[in-house]
Amino acid sequence: MAHQDKTVSAALQDYLRGVMYTKEIAKKYGVSPSTITAWATTAGVKLRSRGRHKHDEPTVRQKKMIEMAQVLKYDEIGRRFGVSKQAVHRVLKRWKVFVKPKRAPFVPGDVIQWCGSKFTVHTAGLDGGTIVDKQGKLVRCVIWNSGGRTPKKVGFDERYARQARLVAPSAAAS
């Protein structure tokens, strides 16, 4: 059965919009889903990938698991949600961007390699800190894990660790 050009173009417009499933488009125009795919191939349209779309952020249930992971063990979280501790681990591994660190990744005095150079951590917090170069000159405030490049710890400089310990008690006294 030959189809009119108007039917083919209308079906391809629906296909390109991406709102409807291929199966729904086929049903709307009275053809099989493979016919819609064949029309798209013939027209030179990029075919859709199979499967469901990936989520951009965790579900409400997964967010609760992530929050609980800050204070509870995986097996306890699994018991509360009716899943295994391995399932909890998979959720946390999948959504590690949303997991808040329990402690700072670096401490004052750590020597890190970042963007091809070595720096010493002067101050450190959960999200970021300040680093100094080899001459002791303050280079910049850094946000850990930003832009995909994570600094790598390569050593330790005792001078900056001592300096941080001296500053901390006096800050607490004031």
Q: For 22-37, what is each residue's pLDDT tens digit?
A: 999 999 999 999 999 9
Pairwise pLDDT comparison (163 vs 16), residue with the higher score: 16
Is the confidence at residue 111, as pLDDT, over 80? yes
pLDDT for the residue numbered 122: 83
Task: Report the alpha-carbon distance of residue 65 to residue 88 in Å, rounded.
Answer: 7
Length of the chain as a residue count:
174
Q: For residue 165, what pLDDT band results from cuts at 50, 70 and 90? A: low
| Structure tokens belonging to residue 155 | 């050593």
In the chain, where the domains are located: 5-42, 60-94, 110-167
Query: What values do phi and psi take at 101, rounded to 5?
Result: -65, 145
pLDDT for the residue numbered 89: 93
Q: For residue 86, what pLDDT band results from cuts at 50, 70 and 90? A: very high
Find tokens 């390699």 and name the residue.
113
Q: For 60-85, what is each residue's pLDDT tens digit?
A: 999 999 888 878 889 999 999 999 99
- Residue 153 three-state SS: strand
Query: What values do phi and psi take at 151, rounded to 5?
Result: -60, 150
How many percent of the chain have pLDDT more than 70?
84
Q: For residue 174, what pLDDT band results from cuts at 50, 70 and 90? A: very low
User: CB–CB of 109/159 below 8 Å?
Assistant: yes
Task: Report the alpha-carbon distance of residue 13 to residue 49 in Å, rounded.
Answer: 17
